[in-house]
Amino acid sequence: MRTLAFLLLLFGPVLSAPAAVGLWTRRLLGGVAHADACALTAGAVAGVAVFALLRRRGLRREVTILALSAFWAGWLWMALTDRGYDWTRAPALHAPDGFERFVLLLMVLVYLTLYVLAEEARPRASGV
């Protein structure tokens, strides 16, 4: 269970957008036939889009990681501070106070640092 929690926290920014798209699509199409298949398809399409953006080099990749990290930190914070939160719906928007903003910024910076370090540790193709 600890390993699963660690993996979820580590890959949360990458998995959060496809998961949110799938969960919220299922919630939106709750009474429609094949709502589960539509939600899985929407999540898969979002996952492919995220993967395609992360395969790019340079600024596009960094901006994608920043956006995904900010989305994950914000979604996690809003879900954990909302009593009785249901993960299949969008969280109720509420503004964080000063300390909570600092914690959110710290979470985003930690995720950005992890991904930058992973990028630096990645072996490069030789120019020969």
Q: Express each pLDDT in 58-85 by its tens digit.
A: 788 888 888 888 888 888 888 778 777 7
Which domain covers residue 90, as residue numbers? 2-121
String of DSSP letters for the chain: -HHHHHHHHHHHHHHHHHHHHHHHHHHHTTTSTTHHHHHHHHHHHHHHHHHHHHHS-THHHHHHHHHHHHHHHHHHHHHHHSTT--TTSPPPP----HHHHHHHHHHHHHHHHHHHHHHHHSPPPP--
Provide the pLDDT for residue 94: 74
Q: Is residue 127 situated within a structural domain?
A: no
**Is the pLDDT confidence value at 128 over 60?**
no
- Whether residue 126 lies inside any domain: the answer is no
User: Is residue 13 included in any domain, yes or no?
Assistant: yes
109 within domain boundaries: yes
Residue 11: which pLDDT band, with cuts at 50, 70 and 90? confident
Q: Count of domains in the chain?
A: 1
Q: What is the pTM of this model?
A: 0.73
The predicted-structure confidence for 108-117, as pLDDT tens digits, reads as follows 888 888 777 7
Would you say residue 128 lies in a domain?
no
